[in-house]
Amino acid sequence: MSRWVIHAQASFDAHHALTSYRGEREQSHRHPWKIAVRVGADELNEESYALDFHQVRDLLTAAIAPLDRSDLNDHPEIGKPSPTAERVAEVLSQKLAPGCEKIGGHLISVSVWEGPDNRVDLILDTSDS
């Protein structure tokens, strides 16, 4: 089966401190964070495109807006048990997936850069969709 994959990315700045990094709480520090998503579509629409780039980007922008200039430790979902890049990816995937479905796509992955060089990828199992 063929699948079209649409990519979007956006950035924000936020503070965080891991709650038990190597057995101790980190000092709060700021990072630039970058989020990239991949959204799949199985067919083209009547205008010959899979999904509207702007709709995918708008979903991502809305999902990260509350995180910009925040302390991720204070975020009710990301902050517990520890505000890791993995938690950011997991929570954003939960927020983005329904919106992707609504516009006719399937969220495939969420990538989170903590600073310019460190990235984690959450690859979602879309085999049942």
Percent of the chain, pLDDT > 70? 95
> What is the number of domains present in the chain?
1
- Cβ-based neighbours of 24, under 8 Å, separated by 6 or more: none
Compute the average pLDDT of residues 117-126.
91
Contact 31, 76 (CB under 8 A): no
- Structural domain for 12, as ranges: 4-123
Compute the average pLDDT of residues 16-32.
92
Percent helix, strand, coil in the chain, to 5, is 30, 35, 35
Q: What is the pTM of this model?
A: 0.92
- What CATH number is associated with residue 54? 3.30.479.10
Residue 74 lies in a domain: yes
Residue 129 lies in a domain: no
Q: How far apart are CA 18 and CA 118, in angstroms?
A: 15
